Copies of this chain bind each other. A is one copy, B any other.
């Protein structure tokens, strides 16, 4: 006898498939197979696929582990940002999910991390208005950087067919050999020069670098404002 079908089991299965096989692999039939059932049976527990994906989003948000807040706000903010990045990297496809289904979070639990972030920012001593600016700036930064990090979007490579330039091949090999000659250096000199550094750029250092810039700027503003 099988375990009873529940919304939670279904959403869990969908999330698992999304993490393991990508967003496109999440179909009603595939999820149903995962929980040992026919596709149409899922509709007793989720309204439609939209609803299922809403559940996936919420489940990802619930993965957020709240840092200890009994410290200076800037340390809490830094750890919160790192934790958000961890969540996004653990479920990178959720970014695409948000991007294509441009609709707000609606489940209460999914809003708790947002509440947390606003609470921390409030402690920095700036007014509500500026707090929202800060929230959006930090949130946007994390999302964008993680997106560039997990996607290969602007990674580096060698020329192919004379017309296009496949930058991804360079990542496969180690960077400090002579790859530059394969790129049209006369048209892309700076890109060619930056290639090795693009390839060996440490994502953690990258993330902290930008986070430091933002937090330092925010702290300076908070101090002068108060």
Query: Once the chains bind, are B137 and A102 in contact (CB under 8 Å)?
Result: no
The total of chain A residues at the interface (CB under 8 A) is: 80
The count of identical subunits is 2
For A5, the chain B residues whose CB sits under 8 A away are none
A132 to chain B: closest CB distance in Å?
4
Query: Once the chains bind, are B151 and A108 in contact (CB under 8 Å)?
Result: no
A222 to chain B: closest CB distance in Å?
12
Within 127-155 of A, Cβ neighbours of B (below 8 Å) are at 128-129, 131-133, 135-137, 139-155
Docked Cα-Cα span, A49 to B196, in Å, equals 32
| Chain A residues proximal to chain B, CB less than 8 Å | 23-24, 92-93, 95-96, 98-100, 102-108, 111-112, 114-115, 118-119, 122, 128-129, 131-133, 135-137, 139-157, 160, 163-168, 184, 187-191, 193-194, 196-198, 201, 205-206, 209-210, 212-214, 216-218, 221
22 contacting pairs across A/B (C-beta < 8 A)? A24-B100, A93-B100, A96-B99, A102-B153, A106-B164, A106-B165, A107-B163, A111-B167, A112-B188, A118-B190, A118-B194, A119-B190, A136-B145, A136-B206, A136-B210, A137-B206, A141-B145, A143-B148, A213-B217, A214-B214, A216-B217, A217-B217
